[in-house]
Amino acid sequence: MDFFSVKNWDELQHYKDRAPPWIKLYNHLLDDYEFACLQDASKLHLVLIWLLASRNNNRLPFNARWIKQRIGVDGDVDLNELAALGFIEVEPIKDVALQSAEQDASTTLADCKQVATTEERRVEERESREEGEKEKPKKRFSPPSIYEIKDHVIEKGYGFDPDSFFSYYESNGWMVGKNKMKCWKSACVGWNSREKKNGKSSGFNQQDDRPRSPGDRLRAAIAEENRNGSTLGADA
């Protein structure tokens, strides 16, 4: 549907932000040549159209029958005459194919923006993850104590002597070939395999001989005393 608006509407309206209860009508209209050229019915129609435009934000459908009904007149309304003399301005008609093409282009542009936004977010997440990995300090190798090695040998049931393992790698700076050791537990696996292959299982006595705290020694003494008392009672 086509629409039209009243020309120079700012000169006729009084209120800027709402529908006015009245419009301005200047007496110099009597001196206007184009207005004088209008048919008498069209002059009345024009004034009534001004009033109707004040209620519709100066945008009316270019439909003579609808206008006739709204302004309440009997005769036909000649909108073409009013447009030809410059009292109303008809909005340019857009080709249907052009409107469809513009709509498709708008939809495609929105889809492209969404894809671009998603891709940008993925790039940012990847860069943030890579940056975090760069900033994360690499874990340095820390040589184990002899007691850690013994605990591990007991836990895994290895047959090699932990002291030999510890002494060997402690003497060479915990090197594996020409490289610094990365995981001593993995080295234990290889050491145990070589010992088994060469038939050098030490029959390691898996008794914990690490230094004990005073509390541990006290508890051990009490337990030993209890065991001795039980033995004496049985002999009696």
Tell me the HSE value of 57 on the side-chain side, using a 13 A CA sphere: 3
Res 131 pLDDT > 90: no
Instruction: Tell me how far apart the alpha carbons of residues 67 and 22 are, in angstroms, rounded to a whole number.
Output: 19
With pLDDT > 90 as the criterion, what percentage of the chain qualifies? 35
Instruction: Choose among 154, 153, 177, 155: nearest CA to 166.
Output: 153
Res 181 pLDDT > 80: yes
Bridge partners for 176 per DSSP: 179
More reliable by pLDDT, 27 or 127: 27
Domain spans in the chain, listed from the N-terminal domain onward: 3-90, 103-136, 139-210
Average pLDDT, the chain: 79
Instruction: Tell me how far apart the alpha carbons of residues 179 and 194 are, in angstroms, rounded to a whole number.
Output: 20
Instruction: Choose among 32, 69, 74, 28: nearest CA to 49.
Output: 69
Q: At what angle do helices 146-156 and 184-197 cross, to 10 degrees?
A: 60
With pLDDT > 70 as the criterion, what percentage of the chain qualifies? 68
The pLDDT confidence band at residue 218, using thresholds 50, 70 and 90, is low
Strands 88-90 and 60-61: unpaired
